[in-house]
Amino acid sequence: MENFTFQCGTKIIFGKGTEKQVGEETRRFSKKVLLHYGTGSIKKSGLYHTVVESLKRSGVSFTELPGVVPNPRIGLVREGVKTCRENGIDFILAVGGGSVIDSAKAIAAGFYHDGDAWDFFSKKIPIEKALPIGTILTIPAAGSEASPSVVITNEADKSKLSANSNLLRPVFSILNPELTLTLPKFQVACGISDMMAHVIERYFTNTKSVDLTDKLCEATLRSIIKNARLALSDPDNYDYRAELMWASTVAHNGLLGTGRAEDWASHRIEHELSALYDVAHGAGLAVIVPAWMKYVYRHDVKRFAQFARNVWDVSSDSDEKAALEGIGCLRTFFRDIGLPATLKELGIGGEKIGEMAGRCVHRGHIGNFVKLGEKDVAEIYRIALA
């Protein structure tokens, strides 16, 4: 096991009706906040009304900044920084999915930065101060509700980059699974592949002696797989949604990666896809992760066999066969829950593989489990084609 530091202080307020506590929780930090959300679904669902009432009842005033889209844009982040500065705002309340929360995180960091907020992503300058943010999560997927990470897309050059800082962990996150009951099936499925990918990026490691986190990863994956199937076949069931929602947080708050090197190549490879083609992140991952696995599994067949046996109950005695069966199980599962299995199904051909591979590694090799250069990444895109 490697040395590590782990701290996740996000207060999780979980369960039915908890969104009504948002005013009370927000007031502990601020009486003047930015209310940040997406393109209007929270108005249709009535959540907007609940939030506004709760904030008013707690004497919290707010300025609204709607308009966050999937693969959230730096343009809106810049607008958010300006709005916060001009209005003396010192807290951001993000109401939505991972995109809204990530946009809020970028604004929170940008607020204290003299230069452009994109500097954190393009120049990798460290985040030394950030506004506190709180969230009401509406889509279990990205894990941003308790994670230190943020991913933003620059609409000008179509780059999609990430930044990390413990300062970006929300001070509170309200998770009410009831809010997820009306999500479209495709969006649920995208969330499932995203949270599974967060575990898988941690699971495939070269660090030795990581038994506890291995087992926690396997447990989390098994629970996601089981409850994904149940939730999709019985969409009105609260409990299945609750399992998935809590799993999305556990998958990405950092616990499962403690003491081990993490990989993150699949995410980098997918980011180029969603930056260039604006595909849903989860759909892109469903295509890329199994392709990445096929390309790298020979590096540690035993670990892939362990994944197959402990997550998918593969019984083959041969490690090689078990490994391949496990990858097949993952691919079949994604297809079963309605996700694409190939780039072709995403409507993407091979034309830009060279360009994407080049952009993917422009800062050097990616991944830790296997270090990947431009040719490796291009090959993974090719495996993913059909």
**Least Cβ distance, residue 260 to its own copies (angstroms):** 11
**Least Cβ distance, residue 144 to its own copies (angstroms):** 17
**Least Cβ distance, residue 208 to its own copies (angstroms):** 7
DSSP string of 97-158? SHHHHHHHHHHHHHTT-SS-TTHHHHT-PPP-----EEEEE-SSSS-TTT-SEEEEEETTTT
- Which residues have C-beta within 8 Å of that of residue 323, sequence separation ≥ 6? 297, 301, 304, 305, 307, 308
Binding of residue 135 to its own copies (CB under 8 A)? no
**Least Cβ distance, residue 202 to its own copies (angstroms):** 14
**CA separation (Å) from 219 to 56, 203, 209?**
42, 12, 17
DSSP string of 337-383? TT--SSTGGGT--STTHHHHHHHHTTTS-B-SSS-B-HHHHHHHHHH
Binding of residue 220 to its own copies (CB under 8 A)? yes
The interface region with its own copies, picked from 102-110, 156-164, 212-220, 355-363 by CB under 8 A, is 212-220
Show contacts with its own copies in window 227-266 (CB under 8 A). 227, 239-240, 242-243, 246-247, 250, 255, 258-259
Binding of residue 145 to its own copies (CB under 8 A)? no
**Least Cβ distance, residue 235 to its own copies (angstroms):** 16
Can you tell me the distance from the alpha carbon of 206 to that of 172, in angstroms, rounded to the nearest whole number?
Answer: 34
**Least Cβ distance, residue 9 to its own copies (angstroms):** 3
172: part of which helix (H) or strand (E)?
strand 172-175
Closest to its own copies by CB, 34 vs 216, is 216
Task: Tell me, by CB under 8 A, how many residues bind its own copies.
Answer: 41
Q: Are 60 and 26 in contact (CB under 8 A)?
A: yes
The interface region with its own copies, picked from 79-87, 114-122, 222-230, 364-372 by CB under 8 A, is 222-230
Can you tell me the distance from the alpha carbon of 263 to that of 215, in angstroms, rounded to the nearest whole number?
Answer: 18
The interface region with its own copies, picked from 120-128, 190-198, 206-214, 263-271 by CB under 8 A, is 206-214
Q: Which residue among 52, 181, 219, 385 contacts its own copies (CB under 8 A)?
A: 219
Binding of residue 311 to its own copies (CB under 8 A)? no
Dig out the tokens for 375 from the structure: 């040719």
The partner residues of 164 in beta bridges, in order of sequence, read 149
Binding of residue 11 to its own copies (CB under 8 A)? yes
Tell me which residues touch its own copies (CB under 8 A): 1-18, 208-209, 211-212, 215-216, 218-220, 222-223, 226-227, 239-240, 242-243, 246-247, 250, 255, 258-259
